[in-house]
Amino acid sequence: MPDSIIIRQVQEGDQREWERLWKLFQIFHNVTPTDELSKANFQRFLDPQIKMWAALAIDLETGKALGMVNYFSHITTWATKDKILLNDLYVDETARVRGLGRQLVQYVYDEADKMNTPHVYWCTDYFNHRAQILYTKVGYQTSRVIYRRTGH
């Protein structure tokens, strides 16, 4: 990752850049973005009462955000410590395969360690081979598959 790029937690002034990447990420998943959800998410990241966070990879030379990771903590019956779900990871098309994705995952690992909740997990589409190239380097594939309630 070039020296001019830093990864840091989102701040109040980042809303526009975060929303830009978030909307690209939703479109990547064939979901139509809404301002309502974008704004609600950003408010939740800044609320210290809510254990949901986001970080950006920012090019200090241009001020542009090149990558985004969103993650949250939740209670579980399987451990006394919370687990961290790395929910969304996106690197701008122009900045891919330069190590940003790996660094964003590492950022979440470091934050999880600081919170003493080191269990970090995530899921991806079975056909997202590009993401899986990265994921097999920073973690391992579990045997679990995801189901959801029909119609919701």
Q: Which residues bind ligand COA (CB under 6 A)?
A: 28, 89-91, 96-102, 124, 128, 130-131, 133-134, 137
Query: Considering beta carbons, is residue 28 or 121 the nearer one to ligand COA?
Result: 28
Do residues 68 and 88 lie in contact, with contact meaning Cβ atoms separated by under 8 Å? yes
Closest CB 38 distance from ligand COA, rounded Å = 17
Q: How far is the CB of 30 from ligand COA (least distance, A)?
A: 12
The Cα-based distances of 96 to 67, 90, 101 in angstroms read 9, 9, 8
**Between 81 and 98, whose beta carbon lies closer to ligand COA?**
98
Nearest partner of 81 among 51, 42, 124, 105, judged by Cα: 51
Range 116-131 burial, b when 16+ CB lie within 10 A, else e: ebeebebeeeeeeeee
When the beta carbons of 38 and 81 are compared against ligand COA, the nearer one is 38
Q: Measured from the CB atom, is 12 or 144 closer to ligand COA?
A: 144
Min. distance of Cβ 48 from ligand COA in angstroms? Answer: 27
Comparing CA positions, the residue from 134, 121, 40, 39 lying closest to residue 85 is 121
Question: In the bound complex, what is the minimum distance in angstroms from residue 86's beta carbon to ligand COA?
Answer: 9
The amino acid occupying position 8 is: R
Instruction: Choose between 2 and 118: whose C-beta lies nearer to ligand COA.
Output: 2
Measured CA to CA in angstroms, residue 17 lies from 29, 55, 113, 127 at distances of 19, 11, 27, 28
- Please report how close the Cβ of residue 126 comes to ligand COA at its closest, in angstroms: 11
